Amino acid sequence: MHNVICIKQVPDSAQIRVHPVTNTIMRQGVPTIINPYDLFALEAALELRDKFGGEITVLTMGPPSAEDSLRKALTFGADRAVLLTDRCFAGADTLATTYALATAIRKIGKEYGPPDLIFTGKQTIDGDTAQVGPGVAKRLGVLQLTYVAKIRALNLTARTIETERRSEGGVQVLRTRLPCLITMLEATNQIRRGAMADALRAARAPIVKWSAQEAGVEDISKCGLRGSPTVVKRVFAPSARAEKAVLVEAAEQPAQALIDAIFKHQPKLETDLAALASDS
């Protein structure tokens, strides 16, 4: 069994700052981490390998510094790591990113065996689009299961997988055939602590590094900024509200006390509601 996990190195969102003049994200001096949602995807793949054996390949696209995140993934127990790095990938939006990742996954399949499952986190904390996983699945022509909370069963003989998927209406139980792509939800498993042997191996393990040409990218115009139709006009931090929150003291009838407090601070609201009631 061969599983491929797509991860992303992202800036720690707790320490991101926005430039007050240019309104752009200030990345200088901000530490980077593995996208937290991707860790749940990695753990899901590790649990399947514990049961069924096989290999796990971790893939990321980014600058040379993204090697740190790949080595971190190796400490958890991944078998190999592939870094897709090239200047032509810079400035990629989700469309260009999925093109590069899908191309690299095809190359991984040729080099290390076709993947049975491809995992991603449900989204990243820097982009929050949740588009990359489904986009990769579409480009590869494989089925996709998004927002998966639990893998219920896997049958390698029948080449089927059964999962639980969270939706607004509850939980869906879905069964599909392999290969497929899965995007994992947060808090779906307990991320393990890497073994000492894996940590030592990760420190000296070779990282496979592919440029666009080495990965098999045929059309550079579909990569990076040139292949990205999405343009972010401005990034800004919301300004603080001038009006402070009001504390409503506990009362025997808290709902009525809350309504009275709202009408006290928004007197026009009561008039508007009364007018609507009379019109109806």
Helix (H) or strand (E) holding 151: strand 143-155
Task: Please list, in sequence order, all residues whose beta carbon lies within 8 angstroms of the beta carbon of residue 227, skipping any fewer than 6 positions away.
Answer: 92, 95, 96, 99, 221
Average pLDDT over residues 155-165: 96
Is the alpha carbon torsion for 222, 226, 231, 232 positive or negative?
positive
Residue 38, pLDDT above cutoff 60: yes
| Residue the block writes with tokens 């059964």 | 162
Residue 263, pLDDT above cutoff 90: no
SS3 of residue 21 by DSSP: coil
Average pLDDT over residues 207-223: 95
What are 167's two structure tokens? 């939706």
Among the listed residues 85, 107, 88, 84, the one whose alpha carbon sits nearest the alpha carbon of residue 227: 88
| pLDDT score recorded for residue 101 | 97
| pLDDT score recorded for residue 47 | 95
- Residue that wins the pLDDT comparison between 178 and 278: 178
Task: Please list, in sequence order, all residues whose beta carbon lies within 8 angstroms of the beta carbon of residue 100, skipping any fewer than 6 positions away.
Answer: 61, 84, 89, 92, 212, 215, 217, 223
Interior/surface letters 221-254, b for 16+ CB within 10 angstroms, e for the rest:
ebbbeebbeeeeeeeeeeeeeeeeeeeeeeeeee
Residue 187, pLDDT above cutoff 60: yes
Q: What average pLDDT does the structure give for the chain?
A: 89
To the nearest whole percent, how much of the chain has pLDDT over 90?
63
Average pLDDT over residues 176-197: 92
To the nearest whole percent, how much of the chain has pLDDT over 70?
94
Q: Which domains does the chain have, with CATH numbers?
A: 2-227 (3.40.50.620), 241-279 (no CATH)
